[in-house]
Amino acid sequence: MPRPNSTEYAPYFEAYIALVPEDDIVATMEAQLKEMQPFLQGVPESQGNVRHPPYTWSIKEVVGHLTDTERIFAYRALRFARGDATPLPGFDENAYVRAAEFDRTPLGELVSEFDSVRRSNLSLFRHFSEEVWTRQGTANGKAISVRALAYNIVGHARHHMAILRRRLSEKSSSRR
């Protein structure tokens, strides 16, 4: 399946989509999960609530945010895949993180929840026909295709995982 072109998403999603050079987005989603799980499971609970300046979210909040965003993007993809043309609202990720109180949940449970959501989304996306991938709808006032939503899921996770890796690497470097 070809990558989404720039007419399938709002310009602010370009940064995430650019992080995904692969063409087989479902295989890429699966591979990403296999890469993320051991890394996230290896983060000690003692690091879960740490905020590494200049970042404002804890590691738990980042994992929770990844799960929330994946759910929202997949829900949009489901609606558009099923031909639902009802415009969908945007969401304020900072308000979601504050309301969720992720820091009260053990990190292992947050990682397990992300795993469950990604596996569910893999089942959803695996069964889309070629025609479904190009269907579009409106979210946050902008047109977006099912395909672009899948690429956003992967690119968004790559973006945040790179930040987490950098944060934890800087933390371990400073202890030496």
Are 39 and 162 contacting, i.e. CB atoms less than 8 angstroms apart? no
Residue 89 vs residues 69, 70, 86, 117, 120: alpha-carbon distances, Å: 13, 15, 10, 21, 23
pLDDT of 147 > 50? The answer is: yes
Q: State the pLDDT at residue 89.
A: 97
Domain count across the chain = 1
Percent of residues in the chain assigned helix, strand, coil, to nearest 5: 65, 5, 30
The C-alpha atoms of residue 139 and residue 99 are separated, in whole angstroms, by: 22
Are 134 and 149 contacting, i.e. CB atoms less than 8 angstroms apart? no
Q: State the pLDDT at residue 176.
A: 47
The per-residue pLDDT of the chain, averaged, comes to 95
Residue of higher predicted confidence among 147 and 175: 147
Q: Which regions of the chain does DSSP assign to beta strands (E)?
A: 136-139, 142-145
Residue 55 lies in a domain: yes
Q: Span 103-108, mean pLDDT?
A: 98
Residue 54 lies in a domain: yes
Residue 15 lies in a domain: yes
Cis peptide before 54 (omega within 30 of 0): yes
42-101 pLDDT, tens digit per residue, is 999 999 999 988 899 999 999 999 999 999 999 999 999 999 999 999 999 999 999 999
Distance of CA 30 to the CA centre of its chain: 13
Q: State the pLDDT at residue 171.
A: 63
Say which CATH number the domain at 108 has: 1.20.120.450
- Residue among 171, 112, 154 at smallest CA distance from 13: 154
Residue 1 lies in a domain: no
Q: State the pLDDT at residue 170.
A: 76
Residue of higher predicted confidence among 174 and 141: 141
Residue 175 vs residues 108, 125, 168: alpha-carbon distances, Å: 24, 42, 11
Are 153 and 73 contacting, i.e. CB atoms less than 8 angstroms apart? yes
Residue 155 lies in a domain: yes
Residue 13 lies in a domain: yes
Domain range for 44: 6-174
